[in-house]
Amino acid sequence: MEALLGTSLPVFLGLTVVLVGAAAWLTGRAMAEHWRGPWHVLAACLGLAVAARFLTFALFRGELWSLSGFLASWLVLSAIGLLGFRITHVARMVRQYPWRFRRVSPFAYEEIEPGRGDAGRP
């Protein structure tokens, strides 16, 4: 596992998933709040993955030029960022257009059919 991540599993989980993952979550939320597309989250998470790899190298003597470690970081951070993006996007659509959309789950909304009479329902 260490060869794949470029560092130990506890360092990867603590630094990349928890610490930089929180930044990815907030990045996803910010992109959704400002009506950016999900590809903006992917691009921002690319930069966060570079920062995570550097911090892993500088603080924990991890391998700086680990391609698999970088890709693992980017995939995990992108997943966290896109999760934050989707949850915030759904909440914003339902909040901003309550006459048109209804929340189905934290990840999905549906269009309210005209004439159903439940446009005021949250």
CB-based contacts of 35: which residues, under 8 Å, 6+ apart?
A: none
Q: What is the pLDDT of residues 36-53, one digit of tens each?
A: 999 999 999 999 999 999
**Is the residue at 116 inside a domain?**
no
Task: State the Cα–Cα distance between residues 111 and 97, nearest whole angstrom.
Answer: 10
Q: Which two tokens stand for residue 59?
A: 């603080």
Domain containing residue 100:
2-111
**Is the residue at 122 inside a domain?**
no
**Is the residue at 58 inside a domain?**
yes
Say yes or no to pLDDT of 11 above 80. yes
**Is the residue at 75 inside a domain?**
yes
pTM, 2 dp: 0.87
**Is the residue at 118 inside a domain?**
no
**Is the residue at 117 inside a domain?**
no
The pLDDT value recorded for residue 114 is 76
Total of domains in the chain: 1
Three-state SS letters, 4-69: HHCCCHHHHHHHHHHHHHHHHHHHHHHHHHCCCCHHHHHHHHHHHHHHHHHHHHHHHCCCCCCHHH
**Is the residue at 119 inside a domain?**
no
The pLDDT value recorded for residue 120 is 53
Q: What is the pLDDT of residues 38-93, one digit of tens each?
A: 999 999 999 999 999 999 999 999 888 999 999 999 999 999 999 999 999 999 99
**Is the residue at 10 inside a domain?**
yes
